[in-house]
Amino acid sequence: MAIVVLWRAVGRASVNKWNFEVSSDMTSVRDTASTGTYHPMAYKFVFSALKYTQEQLGRDRSSEATGHISGPELLDGIRKLGLQHFGMLSPVVFRRWGISLTDDFGRIVFQLIEAGEMRKTQDDQLDDFLGVYDFSKVFLDDYTLDTSAAFSQQAK
């Protein structure tokens, strides 16, 4: 019950606060989301993670050839962005969106490719997303909180 209440509080603020960027009018994404098993925010988050990952890797988003990222690279960006936005609640948020495995992010990407919202190369496959990491391990077990700034003494 506490998680549900916490999610609702986080979820209301999140829509305005996170403002995930998307590349189009989202009509086909809304259509895909309405017929799929994933929440519309999951699709927006994937777009945001794509942009974030391209920026982190120094890829030129204006060109298909230089802007391409692989499935594992996108999943690493999803992990980092998830930790930035949701911290240890990432698995809870993702489950709320219908995502419980990296495989689900791959399915979202390929739904977006089919809808014409994303592109792929001949080398890209859904298998690139299968079982890449375990959510419990990367979002909970490996999570570290840097408290050094809270306990350091400032010289005056």
- What's 137-151 look like in SS3? HHHHHCCCCCCHHHH
Is residue 136 a part of any domain in this protein?
yes
Mean pLDDT score, 42-47: 96
Per-residue model confidence as pLDDT tens digits over 74-114: 999 999 999 999 999 999 999 999 999 999 999 999 999 99
Distance separating the N- and C-terminal Cα atoms of the chain: 47
The pTM (predicted TM-score) of the whole model is 0.76
Do the beta carbons of residue 118 and residue 109 sit within 8 Å?
Answer: yes
Q: Is residue 148, in this structure, part of any structural domain at all?
A: no
Instruction: Tell me if 66 is assigned to some domain.
Output: yes
The tokens describing 6, both together, are: 């916490």
pLDDT of residue 152: 79
Domain total for the chain?
1
What is the 8-class DSSP label of residue 153?
P
Instruction: Indicate whether 33 pLDDT > 80.
Output: no
Burial (CB count within 10 angstroms: exposed 0-12, middle 13-18, buried 19+), residue 101: middle
